Amino acid sequence: MRPLASTHAELGGVIVIVDDDVAVRRAVARMLAREGHDVSQASSGTEALDIVRTRQIDVLITDIQMPDMTGVDLLQTTRREDPNLPVLLMTGDPGIDTAMKAVEYGATEYLTKPLDERRLLASVARAIKAHRDARVHRQLLDSVTREKAAVSRRSPDGALIVDTVLANRYRIVRALGSGGMGTVYEAEREDLAGIRVAIKVLHATLAKRADAVRRFRREAELLAALHHPSIVHVIDFVSLPDETFIVMELLRGVSLTEVIREDPPLTESRAAVIIAQILSALDAAHAAKIVHRDLKPDNVLLTTVAHISDVVKVLDFGIAKLVGDSEASTLTQTGAVLGTPAYLAPEYARGDGPSALGDIYAVGCVLYEMLTKRAPFAGASYNALLFAILDKTPDPIESLRGGVSADFSAIVMRALAKDPAKRFQSAREMADALGPWLPPEVRRLPATALAPIESAPTEMLDSHRGARRPKKLR
């Protein structure tokens, strides 16, 4: 075991490696990933800047000679935007003159090719520690101001205090949950008959970053553009100096994750009804050229409408992407793997761009889990899971449970095909394949038949264990 390994793991950071030589880039990325670092790769200075501007980076490692801009140009550009970002320059020239020039240009350190792994890891560890120490120092300098601004609104853990009023009309009732971008609260509109809504508040640490606010606004815009009964409805977007938040319809129900965990494996008909609604939502999103990219059971809520349960709402378009939109590409992590690992399509694991077929694969993962109570792939580590997704075949459903026909299993396995060309080519095509398992009332109803009333946020009936279960469409 390398003596420095534990130190590196404790200081695992977010690193961008820039080199137009793919072999060098991948070799360095592997060295760093083994030590627990989150590594993004870029083949050019322009691509690297996209990543630096949309992520909080700890270290930038760049080759000096590149086709579009030199490593020195990249260093100087990034330093204008973040003076404290450590930049390590790589060079094939081990001479003292090169070292002196690297320091003169402002590089934190320089590394000579071929890279020595121990020196690389030690240099990265020093750079990460220096950057984080500087960040803590800056935070201490303005901590008094932040605490004064937050004392009347937030608890010590950063949560909004109950009865806090946002934008002079939304009174916080309780916290519902928290994610990577923000915390969701139940709130009451004091200016509109006390209607209850859900408010997703951008985390305070992110609210100070213009790129995070733009990405958060983009989530609201994408959701607002999708008027579909199976997609959560956006009511408002508010950006104030002290708070930024999305206002959505308040939904009461149970996540698909809870159903999978608490209920027996789903029957073919119940699974088909739920998946058909998810596919209907994705069909609308894909028609608008929007790819979800993080479909999973946690992001599917089962609500109740007019005593009919298992009415689907697809949530969290936080990392969704508008295909072909150049602005959207600057707000995502170029070279990084986005989404929840267990539901990543193989092409995403290889670093390919988003597509509707990646969402189809995720639907296959969700359907497999609904039927078997386990994801199609598992691994002891992130890398082991990606290897399984890329190279292994899921266990046949019939080997894990009975009561699932060969025809239904074939639909699941087609959605899980590693080659995107062998999957269903659209959400609608997969929904059509599920037709024989859908009850007549579902086949007769258009999607809008299950739409909530549009004049006010929808409040669904709570579904508690032991309570009377409403009618299911199955």
Which residues are known to be catalytic? Answer: 294
| Residue 398 near residue 368 (C-beta atoms within 8 A) | no
| Residue 16 near residue 61 (C-beta atoms within 8 A) | yes
Q: Which residues contact 30 (CB under 8 A, 6 or more apart)?
A: none
User: How far apart, in whole angstroms, are the C-alpha atoms of residue 350 and residue 337?
Assistant: 9
- 59 forms bridges with which residues in the sheet? 15
Give residue for tokens 């950057």: 131
User: How far apart, in whole angstroms, are the C-alpha atoms of residue 171 and residue 448?
Assistant: 31
- 15 forms bridges with which residues in the sheet? 39, 59
Q: Which residues contact 8 (CB under 8 A, 6 or more apart)?
A: 35, 36, 37, 121, 124, 125
371: nearest Cα among 416, 419, 417? 416
Nearest 10 degrees: CA dihedral of 240, 246, 247, 249? Answer: 180
Cis geometry, peptide bond prior to residue 86 (ω within 30 degrees of 0): no
